[in-house]
Amino acid sequence: MSEQESLKRLALISIAVMLILGVASMAVGATLENYRARYLLMLLGGIVVVDSAVYLPIVYARREDPRRIAVPALQSLWISTSMGLGYLVTAPAPYFQLSKALEAFMAVVGAIMLVYGLYSLLVISRRSGVPLAV
């Protein structure tokens, strides 16, 4: 597999993982009675889903040099990773009155998004030579 194909594969998988986690959040959110928790999960999950759904076909269609693949991938992952941080920050906030189980769910989803997102961002940036701030 060429360096370019490997980079594209990593970018696509990373965005797809974010998309799945976003959909899972929205699905869980839709079932909740606590309206604060429901809106929170729908908002964070919704942003990740829209972001990933928009960028996934863009990255998939790019076939030229690694920089052209990396730029949209970094933009998409930047937003998703940031929302991952949001899961971690909002889960323990008193305002939302989340149950322990939901708090744990958000912490796990947030941690995966944050750690995996940061890893993908740094690897894609290093391999393509595109700075993080794109």
| Positions in the binding site for another protein (CB under 8 A) | 36, 39-40, 43-44, 47, 71, 75, 78-79, 81-83, 85-86, 88-90, 92-95, 114, 117-118, 121-122, 131-134
For the CB of residue 121, give the shortest distance to another protein in the complex, in Å: 8
Q: How far apart are CA 72 and CA 93, in angstroms?
A: 32
Measured from the CB atom, the residue of 36 and 127 that comes closer to another protein is 36
State in angstroms the smallest separation of the CB of 89 from another protein. Answer: 4
- C-alpha to C-alpha distance for 131 and 105, rounded to whole angstroms: 32
Beta carbons within 8 Å of 102's beta carbon, 6+ residues apart:
28, 32, 37, 91
